[in-house]
Amino acid sequence: MRIDKFLTEMGICSRTEAAKAARIGGIAVDGKVVKKSDIHIDPNVNKITFLGREINYKKYTYIMLNKPDGYISATDDPREKTVLELLDDRHRRLGLFPCGRLDKNTLGLLILTNDGELCHKLLSPKHHVAKVYYFHSERMITDDDKKRLEAGVNLDGELTKPAKLELCDDKMSGRLTLTEGKFHQVKRMLEAVCNKITYLERVEFAGIPLDSSLERGQWRELTEAEENILKASGNPSAEK
């Protein structure tokens, strides 16, 4: 891979900036300054430094964002604020996109990545990836409502897949675990039992809980252990 392509893919700089940095001796390969940015390197083997900083190669990036209210789950939009705007410049250059959607007023765990294949698998209805939502409802949820929500309610002529509902003592809040992701699913499920969501936060996705130390709007890259959980959720048969 060309060194300028590597630096661009890692979100470090543009190709023009790489060429400029090379000319002033700002790029080194295995400790040796290189004056041209079109030389070929093996990012898995060579140690690359850019302006004195070592650049580690990662084919894909996985980010956990604690989504705040008022942002849409999109990469760009002419009118609305997007979750991409919450990232720093380097990460914005990596071609990341949200893996699934949360509504503008839904809070909590959103995974951003540039690994399209894994994202596709995680969202595929075939894989039944679990998503856990913490919610508040307008009215109390009765035992009968709970049974219906868990067994499946009719949305667009189809029953929702079996879900798990853990109610808090007030019966107006709780955790709902779903293994599918229909449009506005939680809100519409509550409407199907004549209730209404007043607060919605995703607290877990594909076996990864939201890091409680992240404030709303904050994000971090997934740890290696979390990345492995995500990959295993997207490739369930590979584990067996």
The window from 56-64, 102-110, 118-126, 158-166 that contacts ligand URA (CB under 6 A) reads 102-110
Asked whether 108 and 201 are in contact (CB, 8 A), the reply is: yes
Verify binding: residue 103, ligand URA, rule CB under 6 A.
yes
CB-based contact 196:141 (threshold 8 Å): no
Query: Which residue's CB comes closest to ligand URA?
Result: 106
Closer residue to ligand URA in complex, CB, 67/231: 67
Residues that bind ligand URA (rule: CB under 6 A) add up to a total of 8
Residue 113 sits in the site that holds ligand URA (CB under 6 A) = no
DSSP assignment string, 95-106: T-EESS---TT-
Pairing of strands 208-209, 197-205: antiparallel
Taking CA atoms, 17 is separated from 7, 20, 24, in Å, by 10, 5, 11
Residue 185 binding ligand URA, by CB under 6 A: yes
| Distance separating alpha carbons of residues 118 and 84, to the nearest angstrom | 19
Distance of CA 13 to the CA centre of its chain: 24
DSSP H or E stretch at residue 91: helix 89-92
Stretch that binds ligand URA, among 9-17, 28-36, 185-193, 220-228 (CB under 6 A): 185-193
Options 18, 102, 129, 153; binder of ligand URA; rule CB under 6 A: 102
Quote the least distance from Cβ 102 to ligand URA, whole Å: 4
> What is the rounded CA–CA span in Å between residue 201 and residue 23?
50
Q: What is the closest distance, in whole angstroms, from the C-beta atom of residue 132 to ligand URA in the complex?
A: 11
Of 4, 30, 76, 103, the catalytic one is: 103
Q: Does the active-site annotation cover 115?
A: no
Q: Looking at the annotation, which residues are catalytic?
A: 103
Could you list the residues that contact ligand URA (CB under 6 A)? Answer: 102-103, 106, 184-187, 200
